[in-house]
Amino acid sequence: MRIDTATLEGTNNYSVNITPVYLQPGNNVITVTFAFHVSAGGTQRIRLVLENGSTVYVLLTSSQS
């Protein structure tokens, strides 16, 4: 299933890159890049909208790049 968009929950800030863009059945590891710094700490979620219109929320693990 293709990921159409990714936003940080509670904002209108869309990602600039999603890798990979397809989810497979089971567990997935994806990288979502935003044009702004996402601070570490606390619980943050990313809202993924899939090609069929469904929404999936995932927990954010931030990393330095």
Q: Are 47 and 9 in contact (CB under 8 A)?
A: yes
C-alpha 19, offset from chain centre: 9
What three-state secondary structure class fits 47? strand
Tokens of 10: 């509670």
Q: Is 0.75 topped by the overall pTM?
A: yes
Q: What is the pLDDT of residues 1-46, one digit of tens each?
A: 999 999 998 888 899 999 999 999 999 999 999 888 777 666 788 9
Count of Cβ atoms closer than 10 Å to residue 47 Cβ: 15
